[in-house]
Chains A and B, each alone.
Chain A
Amino acid sequence: MDVARATALCAVADIPLEGGVAALVDGVAIAVFRTHDGSVHAIGNVDPFSGASVLSRGIVGTRGDAPVVSSPMYKQAFDLRTGACLDDASVSVPSYDVSVVDGVVLVRGVR
């Protein structure tokens, strides 16, 4: 079992509902989202199609049952649970283990 170090990022209330924020963990930009049902997800912040560190600024919604963010650059959708790109099966971004403890968002396994 992975017992990687947990990093506290922010209060859960700092993430807008159905929105995202960027966070920096050991020099890696990650995008942390809160969906409409209150669950929190974290994936890499860099959009693989443009190379720009912008995914946290995308629109959060759903595609079918999947919670997604669409890249603000070229609009591809990424599954918030897995980082998989739903518009190109060959592309995905990292997905991170995230939890909320006492209202604080913790992330593990970056790097």
Chain B
Amino acid sequence: MTKRQRIVVVGHGMVGHRFAQAAVERGLTETHDIVVFGEEPRAAYDRVGLTSWFGHPDGAEALSLLPGGVYDDPRVRLVLDSVVTEIDRAARTVTVVSPPSAGSRDGRQGALLDQRGEPGAVTVHDYDVLVLATGAAPFVPPVEGRGKDGCFVYRTIEDLEAIKAASEAATSGVVIGGGLLGLEAANALVQLGLDTHVVEMAPRLMPVQLDDVAGVTLVRHVEKLGVQVHTGVLTEEIEGDRSVTGLRVRQAGTEEGARTEVVEAQVVVFSAGIRPRDALARECDLETAPRGGVLVDEQCRTADPHVFAIGECAAPGGTMYGLVAPGYAMAEVVVDALLDGPGTFTGADMSTKLKLLGVDVASFGDAFATTEGALELTYADAVSGVYKKLVVSEDGRRLLGGILVGDASAYGILRPMVSSGLALPDNPEQLILPAGSGVRLGMPDEAQVCSCNDVTKADILHAVAEQGCEGVADVKQCTRAGTTCGSCVPTVKNLVEEHFASVGRVVDKGLCEHFRLTRQELFDVVAVHGYRRFDDIVEAHGTGRGCDVCKPAIASILASQTSTHILEPATAGLQDTNDKYLANIQRNGTYSVVPRIPGGEITPEKLIVIGEVARDYGLYTKITGGQRIDLFGARMEQLPAIWKRLVDAGFESGHAYGKSLRTVKSCVGSTWCRFGVQDSVGLAIALELRYRGLRSPHKLKGGVSGCARECAEARGKDFGVIATEKGWNLYVGGNGGATPAHARLLAGDLDTQTLVSYLDRFLMYYVRTADRLQRTSTWIEQLEGGLERVREVVVDDSLGLGAELEAEMARHVGGYADEWAATLADPAKLERFVSFVNAPDTPDPTIAFTTERDQIQPIAPALIPVGAPS
């Protein structure tokens, strides 16, 4: 038996970690011991997601790729806080400087020893195989003043901590570099509350990935978020005595000494690219590429067969790759080589899709149409800030690449088309036109779905078909697809759903047997074609004559898009029985009546009217949870007379029977309460009157509390508003019921006008896109991006839909009319309120009551024995 081999890995970033992980998974540790030296004080973390550190209370832990800092396999040892200072290739040893107490431990804070100028413990370690994974360092251009206090780079958690600390005393910041990482850094400065500038030498943002139009489109999005973009600008000098006060810049192409201007800033972040950290290799005479990076072959091996290099410090074939996916691929290749496998690294897909400052941006394949004869198809909508370009081959048959800004939803299908060479459909423009007119494309099995982790469609199908994965979460865990940048998750989801559909598992999202469309698709179909009748919709898009599922759903969609009375002949037959009689059916076939009491505020006179009506019709009364009064036991044919009395007294329908706004509950607020800070009752009434009658996928409830004591229980509602000293906090997605959910903060300290416009957008977005009977909480959860997505659409207006959603709500508000008053005024609508068509004055003989606690209660009708009546 051969002696166990020893592998030393230099660097514990994402790629070094992936190497160790792959070594364990693929059994390399059966024959090899691995020791990994990391110079940072913590184990590898997700550098791609660095900016999310600002949003997390314990950001470092959330980003960690190895929480706990220890591998499951004892044959892999991780040593942190340790710098490899020298490689002796002849002796096959590395020299390591560590603090005296350094050992295998997790996330301890601390600066590097050599930075403190103290000698640490120096140790020498043998290796049989050396893997360099030292990564890259930020490139800081030689600008005058770059060493001043307030200058930072953007690479490690320590950098972020320093930027955060410096921002506390700062008002504005500037990022030098408008590439991917620069925009990430700008996002961080915005989150830290700074007036943020981005300075880019090239004439557009993201010059490596985007063309001019895409760059301009991105600038418009970014500037809307308050970031000021300066393109085509050179940095001359960083001003300030010891600390930064500003950045002196001049237009690119002008002479030195030409007119300059100063961008005021107390924080400067350099993000002008990265350089491979290849010094260790150079010092031991390993060859490096002209533009940096340890030169390696297709197995990532240097000229020394015992030394490999992977990730950003390596230059396979002379090219350095500054993305994580190629680094992961290199790590896998080296593990494979050490297992005597055939794997090679021959270049990488440099496609990128990411969300920059809430804007979708993707660039893939031959984005600049450099292939001979390549043609470009573009779609641009400057108003909503969408730009899409496809680069296709001369014969129009193959997709070569593309750029997407503002809407990258097609990326999941387009990028695999490039790598698989799948033939384009006859009308490729359909792929980028809005609402992708239903073109469905088969994807070959070998198509790479997740480029970060090299997962193909076949891998995903294998996971669901053979490995027992039950859903997207299982597939992610099993294959790693979607676990790095996440951009392929929608595609993974589609593949999983397609698979289950193909084996007959129910994942059908169609509404019912009559419609294959989802509610959202039906909503769009109705809007686009302007349908007003069920017959037209079912003839064009469905089969049969409908049922109790699709008919009420379509009735609701029609009601949301028009303001016609729900009992008009075209829609009366579609309504559920509650809507059909504008009342709530009870277990014995009688109905309950709920007049609207906005905000729960009611005058004594109106209370008396309710009491008199209940007394005169012998109705049972109960206070509801929504601060109003429910009157039970009305026979269907009594409803018009009861409502006549109520309408005459100034009441209107409370829509307790509809999938629509119920109530906006309130506390008494600052008017009476000694703790209240705002008029919660006034706002609740205004909101209830604004949204009354709005038909929605499910019932909707709201609440307004006048202070943080939250007596209105607003966070238990679909929308909850809580007063602050400065205005209102808006919470969304709460409900009680079987699966209670607390509403979560959408936006804070809003003035009333902004609050109302956000609510208009939120509610209309929900009405448009939710599934049938989906409450706001589950709707938010299943939205790709969740609450963050809602915030982008509603608050940031990233889709440019804000004005449209508000206009739709304005149409609803303007078109509102009380359903009961209109019914009473229309003899045709009243005709249906009869007990028997041939005996209109005879009450239903099965209805009977007893008395309990001085009020009526239904006597259960004698159940007809079920079995075989002939």
Contact = CB atoms under 8 A, between A and B. Distances in A.
Contacts of B837: 9-10, 14-15, 21-23, 32
B857 to A, nearest CB: 15
Given A24-B838, A90-B867, 11 more contacts: A16-B572, A46-B864, A48-B863, A48-B864, A52-B846, A57-B581, A58-B577, A59-B577, A62-B544, A63-B547, A73-B585
Interface residues of B, number: 44
A53 to B, nearest CB: 5
A29 B546 contact: no
B866 interface: yes
Contacts of A72: 576-577, 585
Nearest to B580: A57
A70 B845 contact: no
B869 A51 contact: no
Interface string A44-62: 1010101111100111111
A34 B855 CA distance: 39
A54 B577 contact: yes
A77 interface: yes
Q: Which of B550, B581, B838, B847 has the most CB of A within 10 A?
A: B838
Given A22-B837, A23-B837, A52 B587 contact: yes
Nearest to A19: B573
Contacts of B847: 53
A51 B586 CA distance: 12
**Of B544, B832, B842, B867, most A-chain CB atoms within 10 Å:** B544
Interface residues on A, range: 35 or more
A70 B548 contact: yes
Contacts of B439: none
Contact of A58 (B544, B548, B550, B581): B548
Interface of B: 513-514, 544-548, 550-552, 569, 572-574, 576-577, 580-581, 585, 587-589, 636, 832, 835-839, 842, 844-847, 860-864, 866-870
Q: What are the 5 closest A-B residue pairs judged by CB atoms, nearest first?
A: A72-B577, A52-B589, A51-B861, A70-B548, A62-B544
A59 B836 contact: no
Contacts of A22: 835-837, 844
A78 B277 CA distance: 75
Contact of A70 (B547, B846, B862): B547
Nearest to B839: A24
A100 interface: no
B547 A24 contact: no
Interface in A60-111: 60-64, 67-68, 70, 72-73, 75, 77, 83, 90-94
A39 to B, nearest CB: 12
A51 B868 contact: no
Given A29-B844, A90-B867, A63 B577 contact: no
Contacts of B580: 57
A46 to B, nearest CB: 6
A97 B867 CA distance: 21
Given A22-B837, A48-B864, A92-B869, A61 B547 contact: yes
Contacts of A29: 836, 844-846
A93 to B, nearest CB: 7
A75 B866 contact: no
Contacts of A54: 577, 585, 589
A53 B867 CA distance: 18
A36 B868 CA distance: 29
A103 to B, nearest CB: 14
7 contacts: A19-B572, A22-B836, A61-B546, A67-B545, A72-B585, A83-B869, A90-B867
Contacts of B581: 57
B284 to A, nearest CB: 77
Contacts of A18: 545, 573
Given A23-B837, A48-B866, A52-B588, A62 B572 contact: no
Contacts of B546: 59, 61-62
Most interface-central of B589, B845, B866 (chain A CB within 10 A): B589
Contact of A61 (B545, B636, B845): B545
A32 to B, nearest CB: 7
A20 to B, nearest CB: 9
A45 to B, nearest CB: 9
Nearest to A73: B585
A90 B866 CA distance: 7
